[in-house]
Amino acid sequence: MKPVLPLFVFIDACGWEIIKEGAFARDFAPNRKQLESVFGYSSTCVPSILSGRWPVEHRNWCYFVYDPKNSPFKSLRKFNWLPKFITSRRRFRRWLSKFVKARLSFRGYFDLYNIPFKYISLFDFTEKKSPLQPGGMNRGANIFDFLETRSIAYHVSDPQLSEKKNLEDLTAFINSEWADFAFVYWPELDGLLHRVGNQSPEIAPKLRQYEEWISKLLASAHEHYEEVRLYIFSDHGMANCDEHLDLKSKIEALPLRFGVDYAAVYDSTMARFWFFNNEAREFITYCLKQVPQGRIMDNDELEQLHCLFNDRYFGELIFLLKEGVLIVPSHTGERPIRAMHGYHPLDKHSYAALLTNQTEIPDEITTIPDIFKLMKRDAALAKERNSGEKVLPASPGARAYEPRAANF
Ligand SMILES: [Zn+2]
């Protein structure tokens, strides 16, 4: 028996609105709190949780950026000659994404989505490393760097493996009594919610399955650890999309040329623009102001959300949609999906959740990057109690962590 195991279970998209009233996990994690999310997609939220920092600090924000000089996709231009009915197919895109990911040695999640091959060489992809690994941030350290530099034995899910396989691997690790820290990442609820929406009868059985898995994990953990500090949490919620907006057609109807006058990335809930002349800026700004389903975000607001990048690396103008409206077609998909996240963090369905068996959630834990504070605190506490070694906030002699291949 070891004294203590911190067990952090990350259920992607298990938002506050989804669990606030139901019985989910109440038996073993009765203390719960609504957390504010971070503006962006999982590409933003996951790194923010893992590093305790905001997008302007870690620079893991949106996936694609206009950056022709550094674009690794030049060789993909030739696919432009293939007919659209092939190149816009999800199956073809997925196959090609896998191939490109391997060739470019990207370590994180990678998808070419629906960026036209004609323009792909104008863009770079910003998540070349996996935030779920040490050294995985674009800038600065994450929890796995913290654990490694302090020699704290940990288990983290491998996103390449199924949820079930990750569960089995973690159970084996817990049974070995090696672990001083465990981090589970389950992404399937997110995919399900995107497909069926937040009111579907398919959601409850998925939550029951997670409950069952967590109960079993707890039972194993209690056989080997005197205390298990359980935290179940999410990165954002999920809003149903009942209205579609063809923003791309509106912009493309303007007398401007993509790649010459401007560039744009149409994410599913926001569009990001880069301008190469004043005329393009004026035309596009005017056009966007006539679109009632969204609004141009001003600098003050972006700054409040910690997403105002001084170099405008992720776009000079950000147009954000109202909750429930989806850009279709977009660069993330040709066809609509039932539900989406990535709206304003204060919109109803954006809020994330934290559920724990701990009697107290400190008042300072209010946003998803704050989960990092709990992870760091509990990992240090476990190391200390399990080995008798004291972990200092910055232990002398521990090598200062420098990202291996910083992109920015
Ligand atoms: Zn998602």
Angle 366-370-374 from CA coordinates, rounded to 5°: 115
> How far apart, in Å, are the Cα atoms of 203 and each of 23, 121, 200, 206, 210?
13, 39, 6, 5, 11
Structure-token pair, residue 164: 């079930």
Q: What is the pLDDT of residue 127?
A: 86
Residue 190 alpha carbon to ligand 1 centre in Å: 5
Ligand 1 centroid to residue 194 C-alpha, Å: 7
Interval between CA 259 and ligand 1 midpoint (Å): 29
Q: How far is the CA of 366 from the centre of ligand 1 (A)?
A: 22
Above 70 in pLDDT, residue 112?
Answer: no
Distance 207 CA to ligand 1 centre (A): 16
Q: How far is the CA of 340 from the centre of ligand 1 (A)?
A: 7
Q: What is the pLDDT of residues 351-372, one digit of tens each?
A: 999 999 999 999 999 999 999 9
- Which secondary-structure segment (H or E) carries 184? strand 181-186
State the Cα–Cα distance between residues 36 and 50, nearest whole angstrom.
15
pLDDT, mean over the chain: 91
Residue 187 CA to residue 41 CA, distance in Å, equals 13
Q: What percent of the chain has pLDDT over 70?
A: 92
CA 154 to centroid of ligand 1, rounded, Å: 26
Q: What is the per-residue pLDDT across 18-36, written as a single tens digit (0 to 9) for each?
A: 999 999 999 999 999 999 9
pLDDT, tens only, 215-243: 999 999 999 999 999 999 999 999 999 99
